[in-house]
Structure 1
Amino acid sequence: MKLDAEFDPLAEALHALRMTGVFYCRSEFTAPWGVTLPPVTDCLWFHVVTAGRCVLEVEGAEPRTLLPGDLVLVPHGRGHVLRGTPGAAVPAIEGIAHNYVSDRYAILQYGGGGAETVLVCGAVRFDHPTARYLVDLLPKIIHVEPAGAPQAEWMQSTLRLIAAEAATLRPGGEAVITRLSDILVVQGVRSWLENDPSARTGWLGALRDSQIGRALTMVHREPEREWTVASLASELAMSRSAFAARFTDLVGEPAMQYVTRWRMLVALDVLRTEGASVAALAGRLGYQSEAAFSRAFKRIVGVSPGSVKRVSPALATW
């Protein structure tokens, strides 16, 4: 397989960040106010401040003051607190009345009648299981202040559009806000990847490596190939021993263990989304028998492939 010289393995990882919006909300708070947002399994929370200011508190991280134009991500579905003034009570947001515009978009108005803070908030779930490799590496908070970001003007324009739509929800406004919010989430992750030194280590660092990044790309693109350490090393014009050592050092696990894990991630996604038979999927991923595939799947995922087809994607986690 020939790889495009311009291909960016990191871009392909970002492509895996397909999202499903679980919940979006335009929040209009007046001082004094505070709310507690619940943990949401396998989801990423985001908040965009369009007016006013507030403080975000996530356990284990320094509180962050958020100003108009700021975007903040809470990547691991962790519960957290937003408050407009120090010491304000923080009731559970589920107990506050919402005006539901649709089944996943609401308008929330809450507070004591003082200074106003307006946010667009939401929780999104990543559809593709391979996104876990990336999302698991994200910090507890990603705080993007557009004025200081390389993509400042682009983000400011997007935020202005969201603010305008949120101010007076017109026909189609919900769709505009949710789609722009999803774009901002990906942009927020990109900002972290470009600016945080910790994004240059581990699996992400391996993707950036000129040799191991190519090996990962080959496995990602053709998981069904009968890969071996020798064949991967040959593709990169490396010795078998040098490739094996470098792969393990950068990725954190041996090459063939990674190949198997990646195949099972692909299988998990197909089982959840396409409804393929186990036998067909085994052949599609290069296994000579359904039994061999099923054993590998259960070893990596923890359940049989047949059981994944019978439960909802939210329950088939590992």
Structure 2
Amino acid sequence: MDERDVWRSVDPLGEALHLLRMRGAFCCSSELSAPFGLALPAIPECMMFHVVTSGQCWLEVEGHDRILLQPGDLALVRQGSCHQLVSEPGATPAPLFDLPREAVSDRYEILRHGGTGAATKMVCGAVRFDHPTARHFVGLLPEVIRVAASNAPNPEWLHGTIRFMAAEAEALRPGGETVVTRLADILVIQTIRAWLAHAPEARTGWLGALQDPQVGRALVLIHRDPARDWTLAALAKEAAMSRSAFAARFTQRVGMPAMQYLVHWRMQVAASMLREEDAGLADVASRLGYQSEAAFSRAFKRCLGVAPGAFRRDAEAHEWVLPGSLEKVRAPGYNALQE
């Protein structure tokens, strides 16, 4: 089979979901009794999840209506959002990391907290997304996603997974923490899939572009092989469109021209490399298709407003662009790319 046929068989949205490769920051089995309250801090680059296995609690996120979570309900809270879990409105929350917890492993803990009232059991945790496409994707999600057990798209599967997770959390058999964290990863992806299937906003912007047959194919090609010497004509050929029709369609769906997006995407991959790898600038430049470190450095600074060396030295200070929020660039000194 010709390599281009393999590319064309890819489901672009499925490709993005496949790249939601998570690394569990932590997973906690919580045994709570009313009255109780937990204050959870914002954890940079992590998404928090909460699954109620028995009892109930209220999820409070600033700027959103209070949400009642009951057995089988699952909620995701996007990165950067402080929130609270309380037994009833008005309960005083205690900072999560100030409470004593039993460490079962580096990634799995047990929390017992509250008074002498009604019991609630939950599995809570945080997952981190490593791939630039995944970070791009997560940046588009709403601040809070809730899937109620009563209207879950696959309720039997969801309920069975939650029951299995609860049983593993309680039994603490060898390898139990690994099973729980893997199941949590699956639940997070299933929750995102449920949101994608029903949310009108998933049909617009970058997510909508991924679901466009021609533009989505081009996005996958760029994401998979950003170092390739792509031209507008080459991308249009892969999309089986004329150059002019493809250029107009890409700009309309994505919000920027294809060649501008290519450079932008390369810089997102570069930022990820600089934050997480020990590669030299020349190596990063080469891996992204630049013939010289100088050319790469100019493109990086033009896109993100800071030289790559300075970015690496103080990466945490730079809130670099996540795909889907291209109009809300916050890196200091950023100047929009010019065609």
**Corresponding residue for 2:84?**
81
Pick aligned residue for 2:229 from 218, 226, 244: 226
Task: Report the CA distance between 1:307 and its aligned residue.
Answer: 4.8
- The percentage of aligned residue pairs carrying the same residue is 58
Write the distance in 2 (CA, Å) between the matches of 1:245 and 1:221.
Answer: 22
**Corresponding residue for 1:37?**
40
> How does the TM-score come out when normalised to structure 2?
0.87
Structure 1 gaps, min length 5: none
Pick aligned residue for 1:66 from 41, 60, 69: 69
Q: Are 1:71 and 1:144, in contact at CA under 8 Å, matched by a contact in 2?
A: yes
* Number of positions where the alignment pairs a residue of Structure 1 with one of Structure 2: 317
**Corresponding residue for 2:104?**
101
Task: Report the CA distance between 1:316 and its aligned residue.
Answer: 6.5
Q: Following superposition of structure 1 onto structure 2, how do residues 211-222 of structure 1 map, counting pairs within 5 Å?
A: 211-222=214-225
Task: Report the CA distance between 1:106 and its aligned residue.
Answer: 1.6
Structure 2 gaps, min length 5: 321-339
**Corresponding residue for 1:256?**
259
* Pair 1:182-2:182 in alignment: no
**Corresponding residue for 1:134?**
137
Task: Report the CA distance between 1:315 and its aligned residue.
Answer: 6.3
The one-letter code of the counterpart of 1:173 is G
Q: Are 1:275 and 1:309, in contact at CA under 8 Å, matched by a contact in 2?
A: no
Task: Report the CA distance between 1:209 and its aligned residue.
Answer: 0.4
Q: Secondary structure at the match of 2:104?
A: strand
Structure 2 CA distance for partners of 1:221 and 1:128, relative to 1, 3 Å = closer
Task: Report the CA distance between 1:272 and its aligned residue.
Answer: 4.5
* Pair 1:277-2:261 in alignment: no
* Pair 1:152-2:155 in alignment: yes
The one-letter code of the counterpart of 1:43 is C
Write the distance in 1 (CA, Å) between the matches of 2:42 and 2:224.
Answer: 34
Q: Secondary structure at the match of 2:88?
A: coil
Task: Report the CA distance between 1:131 and its aligned residue.
Answer: 1.6
Write the distance in 2 (CA, Å) between the matches of 1:248 and 1:307.
Answer: 31
Structure 2 CA distance for partners of 1:304 and 1:130, relative to 1, 3 Å = farther
* Pair 1:194-2:197 in alignment: yes
Residues 205-237 of structure 1: per-residue CA shift (max 9 Å, x gap): 001001111111121222122222233223333
**Corresponding residue for 2:50?**
47
Write the distance in 2 (CA, Å) between the matches of 1:270 and 1:279.
Answer: 12
**Corresponding residue for 1:2?**
4
Task: Report the CA distance between 1:70 and its aligned residue.
Answer: 1.0
Pick aligned residue for 2:291 from 288, 291, 294: 288
More moved, 273-282 vs 80-89: 273-282
* Pair 1:268-2:271 in alignment: yes
Task: Report the CA distance between 1:7 and its aligned residue.
Answer: 1.5
More moved, 302-311 vs 258-267: 302-311
Structure 2 CA distance for partners of 1:314 and 1:107, relative to 1, 3 Å = farther
Q: Are 1:26 and 1:120, in contact at CA under 8 Å, matched by a contact in 2?
A: yes
Q: Are 2:107 and 2:177, in contact at CA under 8 Å, matched by a contact in 1?
A: no
Task: Report the CA distance between 1:97 and its aligned residue.
Answer: 1.7
Q: Secondary structure at the match of 1:130?
A: helix
Pick aligned residue for 1:237 from 226, 236, 240: 240
Q: Secondary structure at the match of 2:213?
A: coil
**Corresponding residue for 2:331?**
none
The one-letter code of the counterpart of 2:146 is H
CA RMSD of aligned residues (A): 2.0
Task: Report the CA distance between 1:310 and its aligned residue.
Answer: 5.4
Write the distance in 1 (CA, Å) between the matches of 2:220 and 2:171.
Answer: 45
